[in-house]
Structure 1
Amino acid sequence: MQDQKYYRKGFKMRGEIQHLLDRDYQSAIVDSIRSSGNILEAGDLTITLAGEFGFCYGVDRAVDYAFQAREKFPDKRIFITGDMIHNASMNDRLVELGIEFLSEGFEGRPDEKFDEIGPEDVVLLPAFGAPVEWVNALRERGCIIVDTTCGSVLSVWKRVTRYAQKGFTSVIHGKYYHEETKATASQTEKEGGNGKYLIVRNLEETAHVTDFIRGELDAETLKERLGHGMSPGFEPETDLVSVGVANQTTMLMTETLAVGKEIQKAMLDRYGEENIAEHFELFDTICSATQDRQDALMQLLDQPLDVMVVIGGYNSSNTNNLAIIAEEKVPRAFHIPDGSCIEGDSIRHKPAGTPLDPAQEIVEEGWLPDGPVRIGLTAGASTPNSQIGRAVERILEARNVSAEEALA
């Protein structure tokens, strides 16, 4: 039986809210293309969907539980600590349901607003999870907590907690400002953990760590370069003696593996193979859904394509990584948050690898070349089929073809 103030398994009310999920997030267009081998041919266009795309299990579960919570507690105030998932339409839908956000995107500190919450209120924890101190503060307030944290994220947390309990520092491959990475870092303080972590964004930042381990970089310089990702009171001389590698689940899989290998090499150089177990640990904490979508995109890119469209929130890490992969193989690759960004001969998009700043968004004319045109399409794990279907509609409209005609 669940704690009546803490829910992690929903309310067994999927049947009651299924019609809302079908209405808001499903797409007959996507279902039809899938039934035709993921290929749609219309006029001079050939649109091919990746083998895996869109909502993953963790996101589907989070959305499901949010809708169930509104159904379960129709008269209670419901809050959420931050974005449920990195998808604007999803978050807008929650607002329509009367769910209030305690922070927006990566901004704000929800714990500063906890005094407004009481025992009769409901608080949703998003798919990314929430820092340990936030959860503890909410428990102290006595509110009802609905925890939608993804199982893949929980697996990483267990690994980080074990590192900390052993006295190892967790080196986390992720974005230091990301909700999930913040929550993962906080797990180092659980159950007697040492509270030590270091967040590295990419291989460039990892190189600073390996240079220090090999004695080629001093501690003060390392602090200057990576201090933004260090735990409070971090001392490289003592805190980088024994490390365990983990990751934000939505990072680029190949880069996470490379980060681990580079740190392992440095530890071998410093301490020798006979002592490596005392100084380094690495376990596979890559989310299977993230990996599946990246693998499926690579398979799609093996075939000749003229245009690649990647759909998902600009603040979605896994979608941004899909866009980076696509841009390397297809010069005409476009990352769009939803189908409304396509307006005939123009497309509004964020170039791959650029910051999240909305000012980075550009409008490109003549995005769809003269035919015949082969278009690949994929979507991040926070993107519902309804948005994917809308993008397909807009692509067809750019060639003056209706979805009804194309699917007839």
Structure 2
Amino acid sequence: MKQFDVPVFYRSPLISAIKRKRKEKDKLKKDFAPTLLDFGPVQIYLARHFGFCYGVENAIEIAFRTIDENPGKRIYLLSEMIHNPQVNQDLLSRGVRFLQDTHGRQIIPFEELTPNDIVLIPAFGTTLEIEKKLNTIGIHTEKYNTTCPFVEKVWNRSEVIARKEYTIVIHGKPTHEETRATFSHAAFNAPSVVVKNMAQTVELAKYITGEKPAAGFYQEFKGQYSVNFDIAKDLERLGVVNQTTMLASDTQAIADYLKQIMIDKYRLTKETLAERFADTRDTLCYATNDNQTSVTEMLRTPADFAVVVGGYNSSNTSHLVELCEEKLPTYFINNAEKILSRREILHYNFHTKEELLTAGFLPDPTPVKILMTSGASCPDALVEQVIEKITGFFSNTVPTATVAANFLSQ
């Protein structure tokens, strides 16, 4: 896989060495067991896969290279490059400005742009409408488009199934940048509808079976369906794609549920299934799968609590938190500074969208066992800083360099 030129201050010597060693020993990625870092009084189990994914590294490389190659030019980001506050702040500190916030609300009017300006498309991609608006101004985004290749893969797959006259069901968060972009691309080619979760999928299925009157669809799914969506005929052939950062198991469950609905309604067999339902399993992102599978495997290890590091508005990170919360106390933080002391930690509740202060999060008996991972947009350097902060509260801990050497010698 391609190696990217990511700024060194996002790297971690410790974690880079661990990832390199794990990759050498497991080239086919069949071992999802966590990595034990034994500091003595603290034992940290790192997920097998975590941190920057291919799409994020690609976006960061393009963004920083664009800044270096265009001194004096006005450079804009359409919205946040990725959902990590440090990376976005680093870009802002280098003179980049945001045109929109993460919800698509305008910060700087498009009318202020000129053909000489540079606009970076973020890793989530953007809508066809915004692309057209920028092109009309004279800004051509091809060179500065950092859209993740795996997001584009979903768009391409949507186009393929659209040509076969399937309606596209998108599993995603309707207000998320990636889902807005995917919806735009899908809706250009076929009738499209977004479902947030299984609960909404169950309600959508009731319109397929006729259990609910058709007229109710337009209010219940307001803002989540394409223009001229015809409930009477546009749910007769379906294909399911997803926002790549959703829980892969949730997307598969939604696809399986709708497939069974179609089988039951149209009395389909294995041979006739494709007449009504498209196979889209190949749209699930490899990094999302790997990171979520790694967390599931990590959770088999008995521990006192879990720490998940990443941006609070990061969809893929929140799903890792969700998995951990099912098993043990979990602290979602975006940097080491949220660990205020040996006693207190300030962490994010993504369900209520607020930070909480918890006292006594580090138990007294040792060794303290901690599970740790991070989101796909989180620099490894932040994870190492969290490790150093926690181990620093204990006396007689094994130095990080020694822990790294012990691991590499295995």
Q: Which whole-Å CA distance do the structure 2 matches of 1:41 and 1:89 have between them? A: 28
Question: Which amino acid counterpart does residue 337 of structure 2 have in structure 1?
Answer: S
Q: Which whole-Å CA distance do the structure 2 matches of 1:29 and 1:226 have between them? A: 48
Q: Does the aligned pair in 1 maintain the 2:246–2:319 contact within 8 Å?
A: yes
Once the two structures are superposed, the pairs formed by residues 85-164 of structure 1 within 5 Å of their partners are 85-109=82-106, 113-145=109-141, 146-164=144-162
Partner of 2:308: 310
Say which of 331, 340, 363 aligns to 1:334. 331
CA shift digits 1:47-70 (9 cap, x unpaired) = 111110100011001000000101
Q: CA deviation at 1:235?
A: 2.7
Q: Which runs of 5+ in 2 are unaligned?
A: 23-34, 403-410
Query: 3-state SS of the aligned residue for 1:363?
Result: strand
Q: Does the aligned pair in 2 maintain the 1:214–1:269 contact within 8 Å?
A: no
Query: 3-state SS of the aligned residue for 1:320?
Result: helix
Q: Which whole-Å CA distance do the structure 1 matches of 2:360 and 2:102 have between them? A: 32
Partner of 2:226: 231
Q: CA deviation at 1:219?
A: 1.8
Question: Which amino acid counterpart does residue 368 of structure 1 have in structure 2?
Answer: L
Single out whichever of 213-222 and 274-283 deviates more from structure 2.
274-283
Once the two structures are superposed, the pairs formed by residues 390-401 of structure 1 within 5 Å of their partners are 390-399=385-394
Q: Which whole-Å CA distance do the structure 2 matches of 1:36 and 1:130 have between them? A: 37
Query: 3-state SS of the aligned residue for 2:114?
Result: coil
Q: Does the aligned pair in 2 maintain the 1:81–1:125 contact within 8 Å?
A: yes
Partner of 1:28: 13
Sequence identity percentage:
35
Q: CA deviation at 1:401?
A: 6.6
Partner of 1:373: 368
Alignment coverage as a number of residue pairs: 382
Say which of 260, 263, 269 aligns to 1:268. 263
Partner of 1:362: 356
Partner of 1:203: 198
Residues 33 and 45 (structure 1), Cα distance of their counterparts in 2 relative to 1, 3 Å cut: farther
Q: Which runs of 5+ in 1 are unaligned?
A: 1-11
Q: Which whole-Å CA distance do the structure 2 matches of 1:401 and 1:363 have between them? A: 28
- Which structure is richer in relative contact order (CA contacts within 8 A, separation 6 or more)? 2
Residues 28 and 224 (structure 1), Cα distance of their counterparts in 2 relative to 1, 3 Å cut: same
Residues 167 and 35 (structure 1), Cα distance of their counterparts in 2 relative to 1, 3 Å cut: closer
Q: Which whole-Å CA distance do the structure 2 matches of 1:36 and 1:407 have between them? A: 15
CA shift digits 1:90-126 (9 cap, x unpaired) = 000000111110112224147x822211111111001
Partner of 2:26: none
Q: Does the aligned pair in 1 maintain the 2:308–2:373 contact within 8 Å?
A: yes
Partner of 2:178: 180
Q: Which whole-Å CA distance do the structure 1 matches of 2:391 and 2:195 have between them? A: 42
Q: Which whole-Å CA distance do the structure 2 matches of 1:318 and 1:91 have between them? A: 17
Q: CA deviation at 1:136?
A: 1.6
Q: TM-score, normalised by structure 1?
A: 0.88
Q: Which whole-Å CA distance do the structure 1 matches of 2:345 and 2:173 have between them? A: 28
What's the C-alpha RMSD, in Å, of the aligned pairs? 2.2
Residues 154 and 32 (structure 1), Cα distance of their counterparts in 2 relative to 1, 3 Å cut: closer
Residues 87 and 401 (structure 1), Cα distance of their counterparts in 2 relative to 1, 3 Å cut: farther
Question: Which amino acid counterpart does residue 232 of structure 1 have in structure 2?
Answer: V
Q: Does the aligned pair in 2 maintain the 1:161–1:189 contact within 8 Å?
A: no
Question: Which amino acid counterpart does residue 220 of structure 1 have in structure 2?
Answer: A
Q: Which whole-Å CA distance do the structure 1 matches of 2:20 and 2:256 have between them? A: 41
Q: Which whole-Å CA distance do the structure 1 matches of 2:72 and 2:396 have between them? A: 46
Partner of 1:8: none
Q: CA deviation at 1:406?
A: 4.0
Q: CA deviation at 1:399?
A: 2.6
Q: Does 1:387 align with 2:372?
A: no
CA shift digits 1:260-300 (9 cap, x unpaired) = 01101111111121553232213121100010001111111
Single out whichever of 39-48 and 217-226 deviates more from structure 2.
217-226
